Amino acid sequence: MVDSFPVEVCRFARAYRCRLLAEESAFGYDEMAKQTFYGLRAHLWVSWPGVICAVSLAPAIVHDLHVAEKLREVAEGWVLGDRNYHNPNLTERLGDRGLRLLTSYKSSKKEKRAWPRFLVQKRCRIETAIAQMVGRYDLKKVWAGDRWQLCSPWLRKVSSHPLVIWLCQQVSLSPLRSLQRLTN
């Protein structure tokens, strides 16, 4: 599964004079908050149980399709994406390499029938993984001055996520349960 979420570098009012990660940051639009932000966009590739397989940080102006080109290197088999990844040309290029990209149409009017319920439930897996990463580690906001200050905490946080999933499985919990359940 593949999806992305915004990562603010600084508040929008300070964006024009912000020097934090100036080479990497750009203006982008956050669909959930319905507002423009200044920063990066994190792209996550998540396997079925909810384990993060790969992460990519790109400037916010870069569209999801451009980052999805990297799927050839990371994924095999089937990849489930949201409407931002719908592009017949991309699907065909990935299909030539043995990768099947499943996305819904950009407009719900073009879809002849609704997505099957099991695909919608599988999409909830990546939404849960993103919500946990944002909730536990506050990944939507980064106050880093340079690349090292950005990459070092990100790598620690992302690499700890599979450990949390493994711990949950060791005590017979669902893979995406919170660690708060482990301590209670």
Alpha helices in the chain (DSSP H): 64-68, 71-74, 88-96, 117-137, 147-170, 179-183
Residue type, 137: Y
**Which residues make Cβ contacts (< 8 Å) with residue 184, sequence separation at least 6?**
none
What pTM does this model have?
0.78
Residue 114 is encoded by which pair of tokens?
């609704």
pLDDT, tens digit (0-9, with 9 covering 90-100), for 56-98: 888 888 888 888 777 667 667 788 888 788 888 888 888 887 8
Residue 17 is encoded by which pair of tokens?
């004079």
Question: How far apart, in whole angstroms, are the C-alpha atoms of residue 32 and residue 55?
Answer: 20
Outline where DSSP puts E strands in 16-98: 26-30, 35-46, 52-59, 77-80
pLDDT, tens digit (0-9, with 9 covering 90-100), for 116-171: 777 777 777 778 788 878 887 788 777 777 778 878 888 888 888 888 888 888 88
**70 exposure class (CB count in 10 Å sphere: 0-12, 13-18, 19+):** middle
What pLDDT sits at residue 110?
A: 58
147-170 and 117-137 are packed helices; what angle lies between their axes, rounded to 10 degrees? Answer: 120
Question: How far apart, in whole angstroms, are the C-alpha atoms of residue 138 and residue 24?
Answer: 20
